[in-house]
Structure 1
């Protein structure tokens, strides 16, 4: 858990960078990530050296054994003069990490190719190096909090992109991952990955539940092919690759790809899809993959991505994705056709309606989580609906922590659907038969099926209300006379 003291130190480092002239939050995170990564390389080298000395086993070296190579290590240069630190990092260490994987092309090496070191002055760089070193030595020593620290920094990305994409809060990602419950044998994809948050949350879930039982084969899968992400922004892909590497996923399959275009031919590959695809965006009709048009003939990205998820999944593969409320009840032919596809040709498992404040301060849009399984042969019997009213945070721009939180209840109920059949339509969750959904034109909005309890309000007789008003008038007149007397 990131404490207030840690946040204050991160904020101080952030302020130092801003004072140096770098004000774009993404650029700040990039530059901090590079320095965190440089420090982590030295930590890894120190661990290897200790293991080598203890076990008497030769380990691969990260840094060259030469004097110049050793001078690139964080522990060697951090106490140097600011100008010396600046020269070492900008002229030697940064070019070194850009070519770190050598001839082996990985997501990291691919997207570090056009990376730039932008810290403007030796003085600013020294403040950052000193701040990070103090943070790691005095606040994070012995704690596995690199991911939490990175998550806090990503939280400063407070603006949505022009196509409506924005960062998914960690607790919402974790809820969706818990609904999917991935295993060490699953291939997991986010075709609109941004900073790879869903993939990181899935990795953390697997490590938490399976780490002590995983085989060598499973660990090899975990380090590489288990996690795949696509995006069309090179900066996001670079942050994704580094984010995953900081979470021990050394060879993630992070690729530049327009997921809904003809460029993407992947089909029937993944066991799980987790995503928060772009809302509001449209794409060039000519570039849309033809098999997506077959499912929903539209240019709306939120519909195209759901069709894409179905195509990417293996038969039996599962998906949890975030959609704007319009997907649930939109009356266009494309909206209806897509919902019909999910209900008739696959197994639609659940619709979780989320309150509109979940994505504040990015946006106030109302959203839902769709959960479905690709079958190609139907299977929808009853659809589970849940009316989330609280997610553990206030629903205003501040998003302060509160006690009310439906997420644990959502996860518990979803994994025990056999107990949901007795629930009434006035409860937070309930099951709706497929026939009722079909009869309602495949409308998936919870308000279509939820019933509210109305209580009759009894008011006193009109004569009693009027008598009260006359008494109030007399009291006001009496008060005014007393005030007038005081002023004479």
Structure 2
């Protein structure tokens, strides 16, 4: 978990920049670049202490060393000149790994105030690179200030929702894991954390899964907490190759690369790639796909290539189509989607839902409208795709979550009564049974299973779970009685001279049926209050 001093230093960096760099995204970029710059010098010093040689600041680049940049006596103007020049030169430094050159590509200093830069770099100088969990957590906190890129329909997925989705999908160490719209790589890091937990003796139980708290609690944990000591060297090498991400934004790719690097990936596989208009990676499949794709489409719509099964110009339709079509035969996916995917009547939406119901869809989880607050009140759902379940099962599971463990207002404060753990446990059990051809009924206060043939009725393949409810569940501990039993005999005749308490005591079901009350309703309610508060 992020420690208070580190959080305070990050907040101080943002406070220093806010007067010159008001945009949160630009603040994150400036802090990211400065941290990497400083960490490269730290790693050079560490290499020298261990008897090795410098890698980053050598030959002509030795004059840009961080230690020289912030040395006592360096004037603010000299600091500004050296730093701004270094940012443009680092991409040409052949001593840098490709990852670092990608990070510095198009980097620049967006202001020319020496005193602001001096204060900023002095604060950055208090950070030290030790590849600890604290550093990864610090960067996660830094990314949280991004919140929303609302103009592109992109909303940062809350960590507890990411972990919830990952745990349902249950990625394994030998699987290819992809996020085709990866943003800051939150899903990829959560999948990595999940695999480390599965393969760590100190947190795993007999079946290889963690017995610790729910997803909301685990969202506070760092991936580096789990040693993954059950992973063999070849397992780790495979993981490094198999966790992949694409994003159309070079800024997001840069942040993803740093985020993965700080979480232990020496050579992260995140690329700048337009998933919807480029065909270059169309033949690459994945065992697990996790995503919260952009919801918005540009004016005039997307102009995709022609290999999509569903013809559309809407980004949310195309992303879901892409994900479904790029799963291996036993592949699984969890996707955050807007409500339009669930019930819109346009032909592209209907065609997409038909394809999903016929070949891919396992479950639909309705989320409360405030999950993305304070950035957006947009209503969303999670689609769970599982090709093995879709092939073996005649049903689709539907769940509705109203409490995700946080209040739905702007502050999103933690509250009790989270339904995530219950939904996760019940859905995992149902998916396992469905894959094996077992019972497909779903006894739950939060969900139900609906036959695929019912979803196809009317031809619209509507995925609103409440549409298929046949009865209203009651939380009452008392027997439900049909209203007709009372109406047939009329209302009871009770002496109006009796006190209100006496009349209430006499109002009971047996009295309505012409018998003496065996247990007056007033006593029944009194007993209920005593037993249930």
- Residue 442 of structure 1 is aligned with which of 427, 437, 461? 461
C-alpha distance in 1 between matches for 2:282 and 2:102: 20
Contact 1:70/1:76 (<8 A) preserved: no
Is the contact made by 2:69 and 2:79 (CA closer than 8 Å) also made in structure 1? yes
Q: Structure 2 vs 1, CA of residues 163 and 89 (structure 1 numbering), >3 Å: closer, same or farther? A: closer
Structure 1 position 291 matched with structure 2 position 307: yes
Pick from 100, 112, 136 the counterpart of residue 147 of structure 1.
136
For the 8 Å contact 1:184–1:206, the answer to whether it is kept is yes
User: For the residues of structure 2 that align with 1:436 and 1:71, how far apart are their CA atoms?
Assistant: 71
* Residues 343-364 of structure 1, C-alpha deviations (whole Å, 9 max, x = no match): 2123x22211110000112211
Contact 1:283 1:300 in 2 (8 A): no
Report the counterpart of residue 363 of structure 1 in structure 2: 376
Using the TM superposition, give the Cα deviation of residue 48 of structure 1 relative to its aligned residue in structure 2, in angstroms.
3.4
TM-score (norm: length of structure 1): 0.80
Please, which of 30, 55, 58 is the counterpart of residue 62 of structure 1? Answer: 55
One of 315, 321, 337 as aligned partner of 2:329? 315
Deviation at 1:432, TM superposition (A): 2.4
1:120 aligns with 2:112: yes
TM-score by length of 2: 0.74
Match of 1:180 among 152, 158, 169: 169
For 1:484, the equivalent position in structure 2 comes to none
Count of residue correspondences: 447
Instruction: Describe the SS at the equivalent of 1:403.
Output: coil
Contact 1:345–1:375 at 8 Å: present in 2 too? no
CA contact (8 A) 1:343 1:380 kept: no
- SS of the counterpart of 2:381? strand
CA deviation after TM superposition for structure 1 residue 277, in Å: 0.9
1:102: how far off? 4.9
- TM-superposed CA distance for 1:315, in Å, is 2.2
Q: Could you tell me which residue of structure 2 aligns to residue 433 of structure 1?
A: 451
Aligned partner of 1:98 in structure 2 is 91
Matched, 1:327 2:346: no
| Cα distance in structure 2, aligned partners of 1:421 and 1:316 | 19
Superposed CA deviations along residues 313-349 of structure 1, whole A, max 9, x for unmatched, are: 2222211110012211222222222111112123x22
1:260 is aligned to 2:279? no
Give me the whole-angstrom Cα distance separating, in 2, the residues matched to 1:205 and 1:73. 38
Greater mean deviation of Cα atoms: 319-328 or 243-252: 243-252
Aligned partner of 1:228 in structure 2 is 244
Tell me what 2:507 maps to: none
1:404–1:213 CA distance, 2 compared to 1 (3 A): same
Whole-angstrom distance in 1 between the partners of 2:306 and 2:333: 22
CA contact (8 A) 1:361 1:398 kept: yes
Q: How do 1:361-440 and structure 2 match up within 5 A?
A: 361-374=374-387, 378-417=391-430, 423-424=442-443, 427-439=445-457
3-state DSSP class of the match of 2:334? Answer: strand
Distance in 2, matches of 1:380 and 1:46, equals 59
The match for 1:56 is none
Distance 1:281 1:27 in 2: 24
- Aligned partners of 1:240 and 1:142: how far apart in 2? 16
- CA RMSD, Structure 1 to Structure 2 (Å): 3.5
Which residue is 1:486 aligned to?
none
Partner of 1:483: none
**Distance of 1:443 and 1:152 partners within structure 2:** 38
